[in-house]
Amino acid sequence: MSDVLKTIKVEKILICTISRPEVMNALNKEVLNSLKDLFEKARENNEIRGIILTGEGEKAFVAGADIKEFSSYGPMEAYKMSEKGQEIFSLIENFPKPVIAAVNGYALGGGCELALSCHIRIASKNAKFGQPEVNLGIIPGYGGTQRLPRIIGLGRAIELILTGKMIDSEEAFRIGLVNKVVEQNELIEESKKILNQIIEKAPIAIEMALNSIISGIEMTKEEGLKLERSNFANLFSTEDMKEGVSAFIEKRKPNFKGK
């Protein structure tokens, strides 16, 4: 694993810490490539059932993209940069296992976009969120203009993106940008607690639920319902479905095996 990502596995949870504290964990090519590598490997690793993403230190989750890295880019280089970032963040968004962003400080620009690509966001009380790209004469390029309105609504997303203002964790919770706000020292434990609640469930059902939600939101209602029907029906061929129903009838805890 790259020096810019620190990982530790706690039972079935992989905790990944973006580690560039000298630049407030800013995203550069190395971080992006390392994230892509991590998620591609974790997809195939049956010992990993969920991922927590966080940043090193108490100041920043990810304070944005590394501005020095792209300051001399022209349109073609910028297009490729955006394309690559979008590809990696879509990989996270479409990951078949739950991903929690444990936002421990500033989540600005690309950092906010990274948090948006995760399935659940838990914030520490000192966290700050924003898409300040217009202050640099650009716009969000890693999916912020698309994911933010889907999560907090069109009007609020337009305001945040056009003003470039920052909001605190309580405001982020109020508008639905984060699921929960906790003390800094409780952030990882709370994220683990939520993931453990999910990990107890049938793995294939979790995967199909994520697929139905994430893919379905991009479809028409009828297309989404068709996808739901298909995923619902396919689960009836799994051993986990039979185990879950038997456990319910027999009033015992199910023993899911991901089959």
Check pLDDT > 80 for residue 4: yes
Distance of CA 17 to the CA centre of its chain: 13
Once rounded to an integer, what is the mean pLDDT over residues 104-124?
A: 97
Residue 171: what pLDDT? Answer: 97
- Residue ranges of alpha helices (H) inside the chain are 29-44, 67-70, 75-93, 110-117, 144-152, 154-163, 169-174, 187-199, 203-216, 221-234, 239-249
Rounded to 5 degrees, what are φ and ψ at 88? -70, -40
Tell me the catalytic residues: 113, 133
Residue 69: what pLDDT? Answer: 83
Q: How big is the CA angle at 58 (ends 52 and 61), to the nearest 5 degrees?
A: 45
User: From residue 247, how far is each of 44, 90, 207, 240, 244 by CA, in Å?
Assistant: 28, 36, 21, 10, 5
> 24-76, pLDDT tens digit by residue?
999 999 999 999 999 999 999 999 999 999 999 999 999 988 888 888 889 99
95 vs 108: CA distance, rounded Å = 23
Q: Are 48 and 9 in contact (CB under 8 A)?
A: yes
Q: Are strands 50-55 and 13-18 parallel, antiparallel or unpaired?
A: parallel
Confidence of residue 150 (pLDDT cuts 50, 70, 90): very high
The rounded mean pLDDT for the chain is 95
Confidence of residue 1 (pLDDT cuts 50, 70, 90): low
7 vs 35: CA distance, rounded Å = 11
